[in-house]
Amino acid sequence: MTPLPGGAPAWRAEVDARSWRGASEAAAAAGARLGALWASDERQLGGGVRVRALLVCYEGLVCLELLLPEGVTTFPDLSDLFSCAARMQRAINDLVGVRAVAAGGHPADERGWLRHAAWPADVFPLRRDIAMASVWPAGEDRYAFVPVEGDGVHEIPVGPVHAGTIEPGHFRFSVVGERVLRLEERLGYKHKGIEKRFEEMGLEEAIRLAGRVSGDSTVAYAWAYAMALESMAGVIPSARALLLRALLLERERIANHLGDLGYLGNDGGLAFGLAQFSRLKEDLLRTNARVFGHRYLMDRVIPGGVAIDVDTAATAVMLEEADRLERDIRRLRAIYDDHAGLQDRFVACGKLTAETAALLGVVGLAARASGLALDARVYPAHAPYDVLEPRMCTRRHGDVAARVNVRFEEALESLKLERRILRRLPLGDCRIPLPTIRVGSLGFGWIEGWRGEVFVALEAGAGGTVRRCHPHDPSWQNWPALEHAILGNIVPDFPLINKSFNLSYAGQDL
Amino acid sequence: MHKLLRQIARVGISTEAAPLPDEALRQITGRLNDEVLRLLGRALAIRHVDAGSCNGCELEIQGISNPYYNIEGLGIRFVASPRHADMLLVTGPVSRNMQEALRRTYDAVPEPKLVVAIGDCGCTGGIFGEGYASCGRIANVIPVDVAVPGCPPPPAAIMQGILTAVQRKS
C-alpha cells in the first residue's frame, strides 16, 4: 500500500480481481465500511476500465484499485459485504459499462440506476470516446419495481414531481390500508452529467462545480475538493485558513439544522416551529451575506485556503449572534420537548435500529441518531478539528425524535466550535498558491458535512486539468435506510420520516 | 403553552416590505392580458418544479415563505398540484431525466399560465450547461415568462420575479 500525503489519512493499493474480493472481505470482517465506489475509462492509458473502492478503515481511507484488462466488462460484486455498494455498482454500469458479478457468475441487480431513457443501454457516457454534447432521442423509460402481492395490497406511486418545495425522485409504496409494507425508491432524475463536466475543467476552477454538487452542502464539497487537490500538490493551508474553513462548515451545519428543525416541527403539526426556526435561519444567512459575501457560502473555500477573512468587527458580530442563537435554540427546544402533540409524532416514528444502520453502512447524523459513533470531525479529526475537539452527539433510539435531538445538540455544539474558532484565530495567510500538479496524481478529500461524510476523489490530467473527479454524497449510503425506517409506519408519517433524514437527491444523482 | 405564546409575543412581526416588480426580468410579453391579471390580482397559486437544480435554489424558494418575506401575506401560495396552479416556479438546468416530467407538469397547469425560471442554471444552463444528460435552460423545454438570475437568487429577487410576472402594464 502506498500512503498519500494530505489532510485525510489515505493509502492506495493496486489489486487483481481475487485480492479485490479478498481485501474487501478482510476489511469488512475488521469492521471497515465502504465509503465510495466508482470507475474510470482508462483505455487511453493502455488498460481497460479501472474500478476503485474507497474503504473506511480504523486507520483511515484505503483505496483499492482494480484495473480490468481491455474488453473485460465484469468485476467482482461487493454488495454482499457492503450492501450500499449495490446502487453504486449499478451507476458504474450505467456510466462506464462494467458490471458487478457475484461469485456464482450471476449478475447483481441488472436494472439501470442513473440511466433512465436519455441514452441507450449500450452507450456509456463516462467513457472518453463519448462527447459531452452527445444527445440521443429519448427512449422508453420502463422500470421494473419489485411487486408486492397479497390480499388488499395496493401501490401508491409518488413523484418524481413532489407536492412541496423539494427535489424530484420517485417513491413506490406498497401498502395495506395505510400501513407501509414496502417502499422502493427510484432516483437518478437529477442526473445532469456532473462527472463528465468535471473533465472539461481546470483543477482549480472545478472547485466551483464541486460546490454545486449538492447546494445545501457547498462548503463540505468545496473543502473536500480542496483537500484532495492540496493532497496532490503536497500543500497544507495555513492554520488560519483551516480554522476559517471550519467556521464556514459549522455555519453551514447550523443553517441546515435550523431549517430542518423548523420543517420537522411543521410536519409534526406545529407551524410555530417553522416560523421561528426559519426566522433564525434567515438571520444567520443574512450575517453570512454581510460578513462573507454569500448567504450559503458558495465559492468561499478555494484551492490553497479561503477567499474570505474576518476582522474584529465581524468577529464581534458573530460572537454576539452565537449568544443570541443559543438562547433562542434553547427556548425553542424547551417548547418542542414540552409539546405533547409533537413528541407523539416524533417518538418511535421511523425507527432505524443500530443493527440495521450498521448493516446498511449508514453515515452522518442519521447514524449518530441510531447509536453509531461516526463523525469524521472526531475521528480521524482532520485539521483543524484535532485542536477544536468537537463533542460527538449521539442518540440510541434511531427514531424521528432521536434525529431531532441530534440536530439540536449539534447546532449547539457548532455554536461552541464557532466561538472557539473566533477566539483563537491565529495570524496567517488566508490563501497560499498551489504548485503545478503532476499528471496522474490522485488525491482524496474527506469532510463531515452536516448530513454526513462527503468524499472527493480527484485525479490530475495533463496541463492542470481534471482527468477524473468523483464526488460522493452520504445520501448514497443513507437513502436505502429510509426504505427500512418507513416499514410498518403509516403513509401519512412518511413526509416526517423523510424530512428527519433530509437526504440529497442532487448529490447522489450527479 | 405559555412559553410558546411568550416566544410569539417576544419576536413580534418581522415581515418586511415586498420588492417592486422589475420589467427587465421579463422574457415574453403579453402572455396574460391585463384583464386576466386584474381578475387574478395577487391571488396567485404557484407549483414549484425542481427540474435538476443543485438544490441551492430550493433553499431560497423555501425562504420566501419565512416571516421576513412572508409571501403568503401577499395572497400568493404554494399548491401541491399543477392542476391547482396559475404559475410554475422552475429551477434547473432541466436534466434529460426530468424533461418529460417537466413537460407533463406544464401541460397539467390550466390556461392561462405563467412560468418563472429561477437561478443562473434555469436562465442559461449555468455551470452544468447542456450535454448528454442536461437540456440546459428551462426555456429549452417550456416557454418562460420571467427569468431570475442568481446562484442562488436571494428570496427578495425570487419574489420580485413572481411579482413581475403578474404585474399589469396599465
- Residue B139 pLDDT greater than 80, yes or no: yes
- B53, B101, B130: residue with CB nearest A161: B101
Please report residues of A whose CB lies closer than 8 A to that of B57: 215
Residue A131 lies in a domain: no
Q: What is the least distance, in Å, from the CA of B35 to any CA of chain A?
A: 30
Question: How far is the CA of A106 from the CAs of A74, A75, A77, A178, in angstroms?
Answer: 11, 12, 10, 37
**Domain end: A77, A101, A125, which one?**
A101
Inform me whether the C-beta atom of residue B3 falls under 8 Å from chain A C-beta atoms.
yes
- pLDDT of amino acid A200: 93
Exposed/middle/buried for A497, CB within 10 Å: 0-12, 13-18, 19+? buried
* Nearest-angstrom CA–CA distance, A83 and A67: 23
Q: Which of B97, B103, B130, B142 to mutate to test the interface with A (most CBs of A within 10 A)?
A: B97
Nine-digit cell string for A282: 434567515
pLDDT, one tens digit per residue, over A270-313 is: 999 999 999 999 999 999 999 999 999 999 999 999 999 999 99
- The reply to whether B130 touches chain A by the CB within 8 Å rule is yes
DSSP letter assigned to residue B30: -
Query: How much is the pLDDT for B169?
Result: 62
C-alpha cell at A505: 437527491
- On whether both A219 and A88 belong to a single domain, the answer is no
- For A506, the closest chain B residue by CA position comes to B54
Interface contact A282-B68, CB threshold 8 A: yes
Q: Is residue A359 part of a domain?
A: yes
For chain A, give the mean pLDDT: 95
Provide the residue range defining the domain that includes A24.
Answer: 2-101
Residue A467's SS3 state is strand
Give the nearest partner residue to A335 out of B4, B128, B130, using CB atoms: B4
Record: contact A506-B55, CB cut-off 8 A: yes
Query: In whole angstroms, what is the distance from residue A338 CA to residue A367 CA?
Result: 26
pLDDT on residue A185: 97
Of B86, B50, B111, B56, the residue nearest A164 (C-alpha): B50
Residues of chain A contacting residue B7, judged by C-beta atoms under 8 Å apart: 272, 276, 331-332, 335
Supply the pLDDT for residue A469.
Answer: 98
- pTM of the predicted structure, to 2 decimals: 0.96
Sorting pLDDT into bands at 50, 70 and 90, what band is B23?
confident
- Inter-chain touch A189–B133, beta carbons under 8 Å: no
Q: Does A60 reside within a domain?
A: yes
Residues A80 and A215 both lie in one domain: no
Q: Which residues of chain A have pLDDT under 70?
A: 107
Which residue among B11, B48, B133 places its CB closest to the CB of A193? Answer: B133
Say if residues A90 and B103 touch (Cβ distance below 8 Å).
no
Q: Tens of pLDDT along B58-116?
A: 999 999 999 999 999 888 999 999 999 999 999 999 999 999 999 999 999 998 899 99
CB of B9 within 8 Å of any CB in chain A? no
Which member of B7, B58, B154 has the closest CB to residue A331? B7
Tell me the shortest Cα–Cα distance from A215 to chain B, in angstroms. 4
In which element (H, E) is residue A247 found?
A: helix A239-267
Contacts of B95 in chain A (CB under 8 A): 118, 189-192, 509
Residues of B in contact with A208 (CB under 8 A): 127
**CB atoms A504 and B55 under 8 Å:** yes
The answer to whether the CB of A342 falls within 8 A of the CB of B4 is: no
| CATH code, domain with A255 | 1.10.645.10
Asked if residue A218 and residue A79 are part of one domain, the reply reads no
Tell me the β-bridge partners of A153: A176
Question: Could B4 and A214 be called an inter-chain contact, meaning their C-beta atoms sit closer than 8 Å?
Answer: no
Domain boundary among A56, A76, A101: A101
Q: Checking DSSP bridges between strand A49-56 and strand A99-101, what pairing results, if any?
A: unpaired
- Give the integer Cα–Cα distance in Å for A217 and A508: 13
CA distances from A459 to A48, A201, B17 (A): 17, 12, 50
Same domain, A372 and A252: yes
**Cβ(B115)–Cβ(B144) under 8 Å?**
yes
* Cα(B48)–Cα(B61) distance, integer angstroms: 9
Asked if omega into A384 is within 30° of 0 (cis), the reply is yes
Say whether pLDDT at B170 is over 70: no
Whether residues A138 and B132 touch (CB distance < 8 A) is answered with: no
The three state secondary structure string of A393-449 is CCCCCCCHHHHHHHHHHHHHHHHHHHHHHHHHCCCCCCECCCCCCCCCCEEEEEEEC
Amino acid at A438: R
- Chain B residue numbers touching A215 (CB-CB < 8 A): 53-59, 152
Q: For residue range A464-499, list pLDDT tens digits in order.
A: 999 999 999 999 999 999 999 999 999 999 999 999
Whether residue A216 sits in one domain with residue A92: no
Do residues A97 and A223 share a domain?
no
CATH number at residue A42: 3.30.460.80
Comparing alpha-carbon positions, the chain A residue that sits nearest to B61 is: A165
Kindly state whether residues A451 and A333 are assigned to the same domain: yes
Interface size, chain A vs chain B, as Cβ–Cβ contacts under 8 Å: 163
Q: Do A61 and A11 touch, CB atoms closer than 8 A?
A: yes
For residue A206, give how far its alpha carbon lies from the nearest alpha carbon of chain B (Å).
10
Both A414 and A275 in one domain: the answer is: yes
Q: Per the CB < 8 Å rule, is B134 touching A193?
A: yes
The secondary structure of A207-246 as a DSSP string is HHHHTTSSGGGHHHHHHHHHHHHHHHHT----HHHHHHHH
Element (H, E) at A12: strand A10-15
DSSP assigned state of A74: E
C-alpha to C-alpha distance for A367 and A448, rounded to whole angstroms = 12
Is A214 a domain residue? Answer: yes
- Please indicate, yes or no, whether residues A97 and A198 belong to a single structural domain of this protein: no
Which domains does chain B carry? 2-165 (3.40.50.12280)
- Contact assessment for residue A461 and residue A469, using Cβ atoms and an 8 Å cutoff: no
What percent helix, strand, coil does chain A show, rounded to 5?
40, 20, 40
- Domain assignment of residue A147, yes or no: no
From CA A293, how far away is CA A93, in angstroms rounded?
Answer: 41
Q: Tell me if A158 is assigned to some domain.
A: no
Comparing CA positions, the residue from A401, A352, A397, A385 lying closest to residue A453 is A385
Which tens digits make up the pLDDT trace of A86-107?
Answer: 999 999 999 999 999 998 777 6
Q: What is the pLDDT of residue B168?
A: 67
Residues A275 and A408 in one domain: yes
**Among partner residues B67, B95, B151, which is closest to A275 by beta-carbon distance?**
B67
Chain A contact for B7 (CB, 8 A cutoff): yes
Q: What is the pLDDT of residues A41-51, one digit of tens each?
A: 999 888 899 99
Give the span between the Cα atoms of B115 and B140, in whole angstroms: 13
Counting the structural domains of chain A, the total is 2
Is there a contact between A459 and A469 (Cβ–Cβ < 8 Å)? yes
Residue A168 in contact with residue B96, Cβ under 8 Å?
no
Contact B132 A196 (CB under 8 A): yes
Residue A164 lies inside a defined structural domain of this protein: no
Distance CA A470, CA A443 (A): 11
Which of B63, B80, B101 is the closest to A163 by Cβ?
Answer: B80
Tell me if ipTM is over 0.90: yes
Count CB atoms within 10 A of the CB of residue A28.
16
**Are A346 and A475 members of one domain?**
yes
- What percentage of chain B carries pLDDT values higher than 90? 75
* A384/A244 Cα distance (integer angstroms): 9
- B56 to chain A: which residues are within 8 Å by CB? 212, 215-216, 218, 296, 298
Within 13 Å of residue A118, how many CA atoms lie on the same side as its CB? 31
| Residue B166: per-residue pLDDT | 85
Give the end of a domain, one of A101, A124, A148.
A101
Q: Which three cell numbers stand for residue A420?
A: 472557539
pLDDT of residue A363: 97
Q: Which chain B residues are within 8 Å of A194, Cβ to Cβ?
A: 128
Q: A500: closest CA among A387, A395, A430, A419?
A: A395
Domain for residue A35, yes or no? Answer: yes
- Give the DSSP H/E element, type plus range, for residue A251: helix A239-267
Q: What's B113-170 look like in SS3?
A: CEEEEEHHHHHHCCCCCECCCEECCHHHCCCCCEEECCCCCCHHHHHHHHHHHCCCCC
Residue type, A94: D
Chain A contact present for B100, CB below 8 A: yes
Note whether A389 and A492 are same-domain residues. Answer: yes
